[in-house]
Amino acid sequence: MPETQPIDNRAATARARIRKAVRKIFCRNPQCGHGNSPYAQMCERCSTGLNGGVVFSSGQSGTAQHEWLAQLQQAVQRKEQCYLHDVGETMEEFARQFDSYINWDRILDRTENELRFRRAQAFGEITHKVLNGPADIHLLACHVIFRWNAFLTRGLDPHLLAPLQDNLRMFLTVIDGVNEVHRRLSVTDWGDRKRLQLALWRDEEVFITGLLADLFRRPHYVISREEPADNMADLILRPWRPRVYFSFPITAFVGQPDEQWARAEIESVRDAIRQWAVVFDPYAIKDYDLTYQVPEMSEIAKELGEQTEQRDYRFIDQSEILIAFFPKAAPSKGVEAELRHARTTGKIIYLCYPQQTGGPFSISPDYLASSKEEFLNLIRDHFEGLDEPVD
């Protein structure tokens, strides 16, 4: 009889499978573009350095993007030299040099020609700094559009990125919950904006940034500002680490006696996985939960529900792995839909369900466990050692 594969060999096979799934790093040299191992420091074909570069980050007003990027800068700075360049702040600095009476809070009332001039001036300054330190990490914060009036206003002229195209590393869009954005903007000159408008604006920021990423052939990640910056820094510092979408039942335990226990179990597993992977947590944006608490949000429950579903699918798309965890047996149409999306997009699926059958799902996982302890041991066996180039 053939021998069963030893446990150590099964873990090594799983690690090899994960490594194969993790995205390659493409050389930024326009004459090369070779896909390299995520462990590589320089291009295997043309010897161009793969470190450093520009991380372009967009986000709608009210997201407090700059504050989150400052945390990301600190996390990256522990390993690599990292600078944060804010287009809006640079524009303001130049403007105040020539007009000490300028009301920057209402700068979007100025003419389009003036705004384009000030953006070009800011990008010229930032581009100079980037090109003088190409081996360093440069976080570039920008808005791509505004909804200051009842129409879209540009926040970026795409041609301004052309001098940086060989330095671009990736694109991010930092997002936050509609209610949080509304709260921040309501105490500024933006005033009391409609939450549906804010939800649409957030989606437009993601969509247009994705087009820019496609144009420059760079990866694009949508990130909640509630995600820990230390974990998201691994997108830059440890590109070999797998990206994981963490799936779990949300509404099944709401209002139940064990709701707090279930939530604590889910969070403990999520935080454990962060030791070995970049984890995207769908519950970092809680729009749909607030539809039952904020009257205006209940009026747009359909739109928020559709956006939430599509955003979760987006998180799966930007991951290589889906990990689904159930602290106890419970029905979940949401997890079922996410498992189906992960399967149809070729993701590796891990499932913990307190029954050996794998739960009431039509999708069979690649790896199955029936308890939290067994599950974490399985993930540890498969994910430990991925920081080394070879097993």
Summarize pLDDT for 339-365 with one digit per residue, the tens.
Answer: 999 999 999 999 999 976 777 888 999
User: Taking all residues of the chain, what is their mean pLDDT, rounded to a whole number?
Assistant: 93
Averaged pLDDT for residues 133-157: 96
pLDDT over 70 percentage in the chain: 97
Residue 287 near residue 199, CB atoms below 8 Å = yes
CATH 3.40.50.450 in the chain: give the residue spans: 241-391
Averaged pLDDT for residues 81-99: 95
Q: What angle do CA 93, 96, 97 make, to 5 degrees?
A: 90
- Token pair in block for residue 32: 């090369």
182: left (phi over 0), alpha (psi -120 to 50) or beta: alpha
Instruction: Determine the 3-state secondary structure of 97 from DSSP.
Output: helix
Q: What integer pLDDT is reported at residue 212 of this predicted model?
A: 97
CATH class of the region 241-391: alpha beta
Phi, psi dihedrals of residue 54, rounded to the nearest 5°: -100, 130
Cα 292 to Cα 310: distance, rounded to the nearest angstrom: 20
Identity of residue 327: P
Residue 325 near residue 269, CB atoms below 8 Å = yes
Averaged pLDDT for residues 285-314: 89
Summarize pLDDT for 103-143 with one digit per residue, the tens.
Answer: 999 999 999 999 999 999 999 999 999 999 999 999 999 99
Summarize pLDDT for 17-65 with one digit per residue, the tens.
Answer: 999 999 999 999 889 999 999 999 999 999 999 999 999 999 999 999 9
pTM equals 0.94
Q: Which residues pair with 56 in a beta bridge?
A: 140, 171
Superfamily of 26-240 according to CATH: P-loop containing nucleotide triphosphate hydrolases (3.40.50.300)
Q: What angle do CA 257, 259, 262 make, to 5 degrees?
A: 125
CATH 3.40.50.300 in the chain: give the residue spans: 26-240
Cα 146 to Cα 231: distance, rounded to the nearest angstrom: 29
Q: What integer pLDDT is reported at residue 254 of this predicted model?
A: 77
